[in-house]
Amino acid sequence: MGLQQNISLKAYNTFGIEAIAREFGTFSSSDDLASLVENHQPGDILILGGGSNILLTKNYDGLALKNEIKGIKVVYEDAHHIDVKVGAGENWHQFVLHCLKHNWAGVENLSLIPGNVGASPMQNIGAYGVEIKNVFYCLEAYSYADKKVFNFTVNDCEFGYRESVFKKKYKNQFVILNVTYRLNKQPKFTTSYGAIEEELNKMGVKELSIQSISQAVINIRTSKLPDPKLIGNAGSFFKNPSVPKEVYELLQSKFSSIVGYTNADGSVKLAAGWLIEQCGWKGFRKGDAGCYEKQALVLVNYGNAAGADIYQLSTEIIQSVKAKFGVELEREVNII
């Protein structure tokens, strides 16, 4: 549980970026965490999970801590639901597989999302028509200031599109320790988003199940997204931007093939990958920093790119999309 000095973080981020942390340690309980952070300021602490949503642009002149809190435990069950409490250090996809094995429905559309459980509410991760807020029940988080553990309900988290209170309002104030999900015994299938139905047909699925939906999602993701073990990346680098309906209609009059999905509030969510591709970035490479050839939403490290190289590329992409479409892209990945 002791701290180490000047440790490489290359193995702890899926971009595979080389950066040195002045101090490094791991924790597997709230007591461990409290002991490690006792003499440090919250702004000088970097909590690492699966490292799949960060871009390290420089060495970290503070304390980097790897969350290794494990455990998957059923805490409540009735005729319709099952509540499962999961340690923040558990791998997300392994947890999804655990749910599939036990026929717990609700997270099958979120298969193969990289990272750990602790990041799921922080980012309100989502894919193929499902977000964490759809299955979230509560979480426990350690407060640096109060030196104790607080419980957060779904309302407390203030979930938005790839947003929660932990990203802005309470940034660097809490460490997520565990998350409890309310899963379904009777599945409610979500297959209308993206290419899921097409993939299910291709698979020859006759009877829908959470297992077949999961496999369809895995097939789609592996066909479009690079494996971080082979090519450094953090998945989708940018959020899909939303614009008012009238702005979308104006864009549609200029760019007839523009891709958009109507939100509940009437605004339209644009496909950031489509916007980026139209600006000519798909497959672009400069040195070892690039825009993935199969999915323009994914920035990649082909070997020895520095975090600053990836960041500079993302800045140029944002500028070019703004110039062509008048739409401002926002980074989904946390910049350190």
The 10s digit of each residue's pLDDT in 263-319 is 889 999 999 999 999 999 999 999 999 999 999 999 999 999 999 999 999 999 999
Specify the CATH class of 4-67 in words.
Answer: alpha beta
C-beta neighbour count of 112 within 10 angstroms: 19
- Rounded CA-CA distance 126/120 in Å is 9
Question: What pTM was estimated for this model as a whole?
Answer: 0.88
- pLDDT category at 193 given cuts 50, 70, 90 is confident
Q: Is the pLDDT of residue 177 over 90?
A: yes
Structure confidence at residue 2 (pLDDT): 79
pLDDT for residue 195: 87
User: 17 φ, ψ to 5°?
Assistant: -85, 135
**Phi, psi torsion values for 274, nearest 5 degrees:** -65, -45
> How confident is the model over 37-53, as a mean pLDDT?
91
What was the pLDDT predicted at 9? 97
Architecture of domain 232-335: Alpha-Beta Complex (3.90)
Helix 92-101 crosses helix 210-224 at what angle (to 10 degrees)? 150
Percent of the chain with pLDDT over 70: 99
Share of the chain above pLDDT 90, in %: 85
Rg (CA), the chain: 20
Count the alpha carbons within 13 Å of 251 in the hemisphere toward its beta carbon.
Answer: 23
pLDDT at 22 over 90: yes
Query: How crowded is residue 183: how many other Cβ atoms within 10 Å of its Cβ?
Result: 21
The mean pLDDT of the chain is 94
Residues 6+ apart with CB under 8 A from 94: none
Q: Is the distance from CB of 83 to CB of 76 less than 8 angstroms?
A: yes
The CATH-assigned architecture of domain 72-184 is 2-Layer Sandwich (3.30)
Q: Catalytic site residues?
A: 162, 236, 332
Torsions phi, psi of 299, nearest 5?
-95, 145
pLDDT value at residue 278: 96
Q: How far apart are the first and last CA of the chain?
A: 24
Burial of 159 (0-12, 13-18, 19+ CB in 10 A): buried
**Alpha carbon distance 304, 325 (integer Å):** 32
- Tens digits of per-residue pLDDT, 79-111? 999 999 999 999 999 999 999 999 999 999 999
Rounded distance between C-alpha atoms, residue 167 and residue 172, angstroms? 8
Nearest of 86, 116, 80, 113 to residue 99 by alpha carbon: 86
Q: How far apart are the C-alpha atoms of 241 and 118, rounded to whole Å?
A: 25
Query: Identity (one letter) of the amino acid at 183?
Result: L
Quick one: 111 exposed, middle or buried, by C-beta within 10 A (0-12, 13-18, 19+)?
Answer: buried
> In this structure, what are the phi and psi dihedrals at residue 248, rounded to the nearest 5 degrees?
-60, -45
Is residue 328 a contact partner of residue 241, using CB atoms and an 8 Å limit?
Answer: yes
- Do residues 99 and 106 lie in contact, with contact meaning Cβ atoms separated by under 8 Å? yes
Helix/strand/coil for 107: coil
Q: For residue 207, how many other CB atoms are within 10 A of its CB?
A: 5
Ranges of H-type helices in the chain: 30-37, 92-101, 119-123, 154-157, 196-203, 210-224, 245-254, 272-278, 307-325
Domain boundaries, the chain: 4-67, 72-184, 232-335
Residue 217 in contact with residue 285, Cβ under 8 Å?
no
Residue ranges with strand state E in 115-173? 126-127, 130-131, 136-143, 148-153
Q: Is the per-residue pLDDT at 187 higher than 70?
A: yes
